[in-house]
Amino acid sequence: MKVSGRRSPWRKKVGLPIVLISSLLFFLAGFYGSLLLFRDPASNGAPRSRFMEVADVGETDPVAMSHGETGEDHSSSIPFQILSWKPRAVYYPKFATAEQCQSIIGIAKAKLKPSTLALRKGETEENTKGIRTSSGTFLSAYEDPTETLNYIEERIARATMIPRDHGEAFNILRYEIGQKYASHYDSFNPSEYGPQKSQRVASFLLYLSDVEEGGETMFPFENGSNMDISYDYQQCIGLKVKPRQGDGLLFYSLLTNGTIDPTSLHGSCPVIKGEKWVATKWLRDKNADLN
Ligand SMILES: *[C@@H]1O[C@H](CO)[C@@H](O)[C@H](O)[C@H]1NC(C)=O
Ligand SMILES: *[C@@H]1O[C@H](CO)[C@@H](O)[C@H](O)[C@H]1NC(C)=O
C-alpha cells in the first residue's frame, strides 16, 4: 500500500477546540483517577509506602502511562548533566545520600587490599608498579546487609537502562594522598588483551567522599584534545571531574558501533589533600556472570 502524504482525515474533520477540550478532560480524568488509585485506605490518605520508595528519585508523575510486564507504574526523574559527548560522559548530582556513602565505606574498609591491574602481554606486577596505587575491594550487592548497594545497583540500572546482570561487582576504591590511577581504558582491546568473552561498555563511578584537593577523574582526550601530542599517561590534563560525595559519573567506553572510543581514556589524578573513596561499576555488553 502506498503511503500518501495527505494529512489524516481525522485532523481535518475534528476542529482544534474539540481536540483541546477532550485532551484536557483526559488529563483531568487521569490526574484525579491516579490520585485515587495511589491512596492507601489503611493509611488515612497518605501515599503508600511503595509510592514513598520512588519519591526520592524525583517528582512522581500522576498521569502514568500503561506499562509492560517489566515496566514501572510511575514516572521518575534522576537529574543529570551531560559533561561531554566525546567521550559520552554524564554526571548525576546527588545520586546517593551521604549516609549511603558512609555505609558503603564502612563495609569496604575492612576488606581493602592493594588494587591490581589487568595485565597486557609483557606486563608484570613489577613493571606496572605505580600505575594504580589505590586500595580496593570488590563487593556484590548481596554482600551488603544494609541493602545500600542493592539500592544503588538498581538505581544505576534505571539511569543507564543497562540490565543489572550486566554489571560487575562494585569495585570500592580508596585513594590516599599521592595515590592515583594513570590514564587507561576500561574496555579491553582484544589486540592487547586477547579475545574477550564480553566487553565493558560503560563505567559508573559513585563518589563516596569529597576530596579536599586533587583526586579528580580526568579525561585527557576529551573532544579530541591532546591526542596529537605525546601524552605520557601520568599527566593530569583535559576534562577534570572533581569528586563530590554522593554524585555519580557515567561514561561510555564504546562508541555506538561497538568500537572502543579513544576519547574514553581516563585516570584518577593524585589526591593532594584528604582521601578519595569511589565505588565503580563496570557495565558489560553481556551478562557479567559469563566472564
Ligand atoms: C572540539 O572538537 C571539534 C572537532 O575537532 C573542534 O572543531 C572544536 O573546536 C573543539 N572544541 C574545543 C572547545 O576545543
Ligand atoms: C565506528 O565509528 C567510528 C566513529 O564514527 C569510526 O571511526 C569507526 O571506524 C567505526 N568502526 C566500525 C567497525 O565501523
Tens digits of residue pLDDT in 46-92: 333 333 344 444 455 678 999 999 999 998 899 999 999 999 999 99
Same domain, 232 and 118: yes
**Contact between residue 199 and residue 288 where contact means Cβ atoms under 8 Å apart:** no
Note whether residue 11 is domain-resident. no
Atom 1 of ligand 2: nearest residue by CA position: 257
Predicted local distance difference test score (pLDDT) of residue 106: 96
Same domain, 23 and 125: no
Q: What average pLDDT does this structure show over 196-207?
A: 94
Q: How many whole angstroms separate alpha carbon 138 and alpha carbon 173?
A: 9
Residue 104 has pLDDT above 50, yes or no: yes
Question: Mean pLDDT: which of 7-21, 61-75, 267-281 is highest?
Answer: 267-281
Predicted local distance difference test score (pLDDT) of residue 158: 97
- Grade residue 7 by pLDDT with cuts at 50, 70 and 90: very low
Decide: helix, strand or coil at residue 129: coil
Q: How many whole angstroms separate alpha carbon 263 and alpha carbon 255?
A: 10
232 phi and psi angles, rounded to 5 deg? -95, 10
Atom 2 of ligand 2: nearest residue by CA position: 257
Note whether residue 187 is domain-resident. yes
- Chain centre to alpha carbon of residue 38: 30
Q: What is the DSSP letter of 155?
A: H
257 lines ligand 2 (CB under 6 A): yes
Note whether residue 221 is domain-resident. yes
Pocket test for ligand 1, best of 223, 226, 263 (most atoms within 8 A of CB): 223
Ligand 2 center to 259 CA (angstroms): 6
Question: Residues 24-49: pLDDT tens digits?
Answer: 555 555 555 454 444 433 333 333 33
Q: Among the atoms of ligand 1, which is closest to the Cα of residue 225?
A: 14
Same domain, 41 and 162: no
**Ligand lying nearest the CA atom of residue 224:** 1
- Grade residue 14 by pLDDT with cuts at 50, 70 and 90: very low
Note whether residue 108 is domain-resident. yes
Same domain, 185 and 245: yes
259 lines ligand 2 (CB under 6 A): yes
Same domain, 33 and 105: no
- pTM of structure: 0.78
Helix runs in the chain, H state only:
9-13, 16-37, 49-55, 98-109, 148-160, 190-193
Same domain, 210 and 115: yes
Give the chain's mean pLDDT.
Answer: 83
Residues having CB closer than 6 A to ligand 1 are: 223-224
Note whether residue 205 is domain-resident. yes
Same domain, 183 and 239: yes
Same domain, 99 and 28: no
Predicted local distance difference test score (pLDDT) of residue 289: 76
Note whether residue 34 is domain-resident. yes
**Ligand lying nearest the CA atom of residue 254:** 2
Domain that includes residue 126, residue range: 81-290
Same domain, 92 and 26: no
Helix (H) or strand (E) holding 143: none
Q: What average pLDDT does this structure show over 209-230?
A: 95
Cell of 38: 495511589
Pocket test for ligand 2, best of 259, 260, 264 (most atoms within 8 A of CB): 259
Same domain, 103 and 33: no
CATH at residue 220: 2.60.120.620
Same domain, 107 and 209: yes
Ligand 1 center to 223 CA (angstroms): 6
Instruction: Tell me the one-letter amino acid at 232.
Output: D
How many domains does the structure of the chain reveal?
Answer: 2
Note whether residue 70 is domain-resident. no
Same domain, 31 and 134: no
**Ligand lying nearest the CA atom of residue 223:** 1
Note whether residue 65 is domain-resident. no
- Chain centre to alpha carbon of residue 119: 26
